Amino acid sequence: MKKAIYFKKMTITLSGAFIAFVFLSILIKYGIINRYYTGILISFGINVILAVSLNVTTGFLGQLTLGHAGFMAVGAYCAAFISKNLVGLPDVVCFMIALTGGGLMAMLIGALVCLPTLRLKGDYLAIITLAFGEVIKNILLNLSFLGGANGYIGIPRFTDFGWTFWLAVITVLATLSLMRSRFGRVITSIRDDEIASEATGIAISRFKLLAFIFAAFFAGIAGGLYAHYMSIIEPRVFDIDKSIEILVMVVLGGMGNVPGCIIAAGVLTILPEFLRGVDNLRMLLYAIALIVIMLCKYNPNFNRLIHRWRNKLKGADRT
Amino acid sequence: MKVLEVQNLGVNFGGLRAVDNFSLSISENELVGIIGPNGAGKTTVFNLLTGVYKASDGEIKVNGKSIKNKSCHQIINMGLARTFQNIRLFNDMSVIDNIKVGLYHRYRYNLMTGILKTSKYFKQEEAINEAAVNLMDVFGLMPYRDYLAANLPYGKQRELEIARALATKPSLLLLDEPAAGMNPQETIDLMNTIRKVKDEFATAILLIEHDMHLVKGICQRVVVLNYGQVLTAGPTDQVLTDSAVIKAYLGE
Amino acid sequence: MNTFSQFLMQLFNGINSGSIYALIALGYTMVYGIAKLINFAHGDIIMVGAYVCLLSINGGLPLPLAIIASIISCTVLGIMIEKIAYKPLRNASRITLLITAIGISYLLQSSFQLIFSSNSRPFPDIINLPPLIIGDITIAGKYYVTIIISVILMTVLQLFVKKTKTGKAMRAVSEDQGAAMLMGINIDKTIAITFGIGSALAAIAGILYCASYPIVSPYIGAMPGIRAFIAAVLGGIGSIPGAVLGGFVLGIIEALTKAYISSQLSDAIVFSVLILILVFKPSGILGQNAKEKV
């Protein structure tokens, strides 16, 4: 992309984000968006960060990970621990340190999980990450200085709409930026054909690790935001169901499709609000969504239909 | 200087001696063919050269350096590049991006530059783009620039695979049955392409092929493999009229 | 009781749960061998089997009929899952299949949760045999019954795969689908049979599991499911003797960890076993090194 075009696009994007931010902030300030809806907006932002970062490993790198909630947990607990024990600093600085610490810790753990699995094929990686998520949960349940099964309480409520909004914007931009660099191309090439990628001189394990820690870092940030929004965190929140929920966002939004992921994160944040009290139904819908999307994606008739629609829409544009 | 020196190469698969006592050396800008009946160990030689399999004995030197204990991608970065018998492209990526992956090591910038998009990023990306376009021009891939690799016609897929391999700027290019599945006209086009590659990119080429017209038409030297061993080697016309070679191919 | 007898008791505990893991692991391994798919839903079939058995008993069916009902419904379910969800995706990428399998697993769990609520129900004591007493060791009836049944089933399965025509077809399909098809083997039928057998074994495993841990809930499949999967990987995924061996080894490791190290950390230790195998010998104890053809 030419530099000038890029800066023009970037300026438009950022000013768009800024206008949206100012608009929403005003609505929140004057109570037109009440606390309940602000809460939904914050959850939406956190889910965007989670979905977009998972998209890097599952969508672009093509490795199924089932432990994203585990990285979120690491980030949440680490950030909460920092902000509870770091006194005497202004809130903003404290929160920044806590979030960065949470992200870095998640990144470190991500590297530790990824390293032994680098030589393995996708199926095993899925299982390892699943196992890892459960191990993290079990360890947290047994760590009394982090509250154990009772939950870790008294975390300062630093997270507000502004933090979530801008961190979500940063995550999206960083992800898009990574994928549009020479590193992103290589990551996608590994998804398409590992053997060909290696035969083109690519050290594939290095890039798997890169995608992994990149995703883990942002999952950790999301965890930090979540902890400082809820003010109390419990290990069981970060279980496999949460990982699956994030996966559904990625699958629904389209693997390797960042804007799709954002929309899917929005849908899946609002949907449970309509299904309050019937939580079982929610998991059932997720399950059906996963199966149907996969079956449709691989069905030639369905693909042909999509293609025809797209062509029709394009035709309509021209006339 | 020799781009490739192979001495007494051998590999065992279980009890099977798949390649035995194989020696070969290739000079700069030479075009050499490997022929032999199916199962003679030709692709195995390629896999040994690129480190996909580890040799049981013998030595391989690429540009004068031994490839012992090097992994596949390290060997590629020493100056080797290859294509596959059954084409392996990055199917869900565009044609130009396929080539850009090959250019990864030639135009560098670090991760932070890539994410923050400093001016170095734009300078390098422009260079990458230019190099990719140049390669596409050579192979007539420009009209397909933004096609997904999977949607290319078969012949173009072969050429894209060669273009991607050339993007790494190899001193030796390994082609595994480039004419497989092509009709006579496509094969003639391919021969011209290979000649062009040899001249324009100043690279040596080692190719495996069953199509004797192609071998006769472009190879300067030929090595004949049979049961993992070199049956005979030498200038193309001499080898192809050798009675032992004809026997290996056609039987008694 | 001296420490040695105590150790033997724990060993028996381990062999008991190990034989259940082995039965489940057989299903994973057979399906993986033939369809190259980690059937995430396999663990939930155990749960379905346990529910059907429980409901049949509560509905007044005698135990043998309840067991048969459970086996039949799981077999049908397994074949249906294959037909509806996996068969259309046979040539799709691995990740597509894995995501579908996860979807099926959640579909089973959440639909059972909707129908039967997430409360756990007691499972009746179906094996009322006198305990076996050797010296100062007491082995409960359900333990040795579980072990005996499992060993019989594994032997029968091994003979079936090695000796019968269908078994040979299964091995052929897992080696090379294309070649098997050209030899006139009905691939669809063979894969369906594999899923059927795996699910039938899962049903029996589910009943035996509930005989040992007498509680039924929509989630009971997950725990033995993932352990059996680890057992299959430990033994070498795709290998039938490997799954059996892996099952027993894992059961024993788990029992001994719980007894001598820490019951809370047993999960972490079991998962560490998985990670260690995958790092040092990804092909497992009895598995073959598969290298992708280049």
| Chain A residues whose C-beta sits inside 8 Å of any chain B C-beta | 1-3, 6, 174, 177-178, 181-186, 188-189, 191-193, 195-204, 210
Which one of B107, B134, B151 terminates a domain? B151
Model pLDDT, residue C93: 82
Whether C106 sits inside 8 A of A62 (CB atoms) is: no
Coil, strand or helix: which one is A19?
helix
Mean pLDDT within C234-255:
91
C109 inside 8 A of chain A by CB: yes
Considering the domain architecture, whether residues B184 and B68 belong to the same structural domain is answered as yes
Q: Residue A303 — pLDDT band, cuts 50, 70, 90?
A: confident
pLDDT tens, B202-239?
899 999 998 888 999 999 999 999 888 998 899 998 88
d(CA C36, CA C93): 11
Give the pLDDT mean for C192-221. 93
pLDDT tens by residue, C5-21: 888 888 988 999 999 99
Q: Residue A166, class by beta-carbon neighbours within 10 Å (0-12 exposed, 13-18 middle, 19+ buried)?
A: middle
Of B92, B105, B122, the CB nearest to A3: B122
CATH number at residue B80: 3.40.50.300
Which residues on C lie below 8 Å from A286 (Cβ)?
A: 103, 106
B219: nearest Cα among B230, B208, B203, B232: B208
Q: What is the model's pLDDT at position C100? A: 93
Same domain, B175 and B228: yes
Round to the nearest angstrom and report the end-to-end CA distance of chain A.
29
Same domain flag for B16 and B80: yes
Q: What is the mean pLDDT of residues C282-294?
A: 68
Counting as low any pLDDT under 70, the low residues of chain B are: 250-252
Residue of C32, C93, C95, C104 to mutate for A, most A C-beta atoms under 10 A: C95
Q: Are B91 and B155 in contact, with CB atoms under 8 Å apart?
A: no
Per-residue pLDDT at C238 exceeds 80? yes
Calpha distance B208→B34 (Å, rounded): 5
Contact B104 A204 (CB under 8 A): no
pLDDT at residue A319 tops 50:
no
When pLDDT is averaged across residues C15-31 and rounded to a whole number, the result is: 92
The first and second tokens of residue C99, run together, are 């995501």
Residue B10 sits in the same domain as residue B77: yes
Searching chain C, which residue's CA lies closest to the CA of residue A64? Answer: C95
pLDDT digits (tens, 9 = 90+) for C119-155: 889 998 888 788 888 877 888 888 888 899 999 999 9
DSSP state of B85: S
| One domain for residues B133 and B171 | no
How many CB pairs (< 8 A) connect A and B? 103
**Whether C138 contacts C126, CB under 8 Å:** no
Residues 23-52 of chain B with CB under 8 A from chain C are 43, 47, 52
Q: Does B178 lie in the same domain as B83?
A: yes
DSSP-assigned letters across all residues of C179-222: HHHHTT--HHHHHHHHHHHHHHHHHHHHHHHHHHS-EE-TTTTH
Rounded to whole angstroms, the Cα distance separating C219 from A279 reads 15
DSSP letter assigned to residue A236: G
Q: Is residue B6 domain-shared with residue B65, that is, in the same domain?
A: yes
| CA separation for the pair B5, B30 (Å, rounded) | 13
Task: Please give the pLDDT value at position A283.
Answer: 85
Q: Which of B119, B135, B151 is the last residue of a domain?
A: B151
Q: Tell which of A135, A192, A278, A282 to mutate to test the C interface (max C CBs under 10 Å).
A: A135
* ipTM of predicted complex: 0.91
CB contact under 8 A, B90 and A197: yes
The subunits that touch chain A, with at least 3 C-beta pairs less than 8 Å apart, are: B, C
User: pLDDT category, A318, cuts 50, 70, 90?
Assistant: very low
- Upper half-sphere CA count for residue B229 (Cβ side, 13 Å): 6
pLDDT, tens digit, 9 for 90 and up, residues A152-200 = 999 999 999 999 999 999 999 999 999 999 999 999 999 999 999 999 9
Strand order from edge to edge, sheet including B31-35: B80-82, B172-176, B204-208, B31-35, B221-226, B229-235
Please indicate whether, in this complex, the C-beta atoms of A127 and C95 are within 8 angstroms of each other: no
Residues belonging to chain A with any Cβ–Cβ distance to chain C shorter than 8 Å: 58, 62-64, 66, 116-117, 119-124, 126-128, 130-132, 134-135, 138-139, 141-142, 195, 244, 247, 251, 255, 280-281, 283-284, 286-291, 294-295, 297-299
Distances (CA, A) of B33 to B98, B176, B207: 27, 10, 5
Q: Crossing angle, helix C266-280 and helix A91-117, to 10 degrees?
A: 50
Which residue, among C16, B230, B118, C80, has the nearest Cα to A3 in the 3D structure? B118
Domain limit, last residue, from B125, B151, B177: B151
- Total domains in chain B come to 2
Q: Are residues B176 and B147 in the same domain?
A: no
At C84, is the pLDDT very low, low, confident or very high (cuts 50, 70, 90)?
A: very high
Is A178 in Cβ contact with B114 (below 8 Å)?
yes
Q: What is the pLDDT of residues A75-127, one digit of tens each?
A: 999 999 999 998 888 999 999 999 999 999 999 999 988 887 777 766 778 88
> pLDDT class for C289, splitting at 50, 70, 90?
low
Report the alpha-carbon distance of residue C108 to residue A139 in Å, rounded: 28
Q: Are residues B113 and B181 in the same domain?
A: no
Cα–Cα distance, A270 to A230 (Å, whole number) = 18
Closest to C28 in 3D by CA, of C284, C266, C280, C265 = C284
Residues B75 and B12 in one domain: yes
Nearest-neighbour CA in chain C from A108: distance (Å): 17
SS3 content of chain B, % helix, strand, coil (to 5): 40, 25, 35
Contacts of B177 in chain C (CB under 8 A): none
Chain C residue with minimal CA distance to B86? C294
| C195-221 average pLDDT score | 93
Looking at beta carbons, which residues of chain C come within 8 Å of B52? 294
Residue of B nearest to A203 (CA): B73
Please give the residue range of the domain that contains residue B121. Answer: 94-151
DSSP secondary structure of A115-157: HHHTTS-HHHHHHHHHHHHHHHHHHHHH-GGGTGGG-B-----
The reply to whether C115 touches chain A by the CB within 8 Å rule is no
pLDDT over threshold 70, residue A62: yes
Same domain, B48 and B20: yes
| Claim to verify: residue B58 and residue B160 sit in the same structural domain | yes
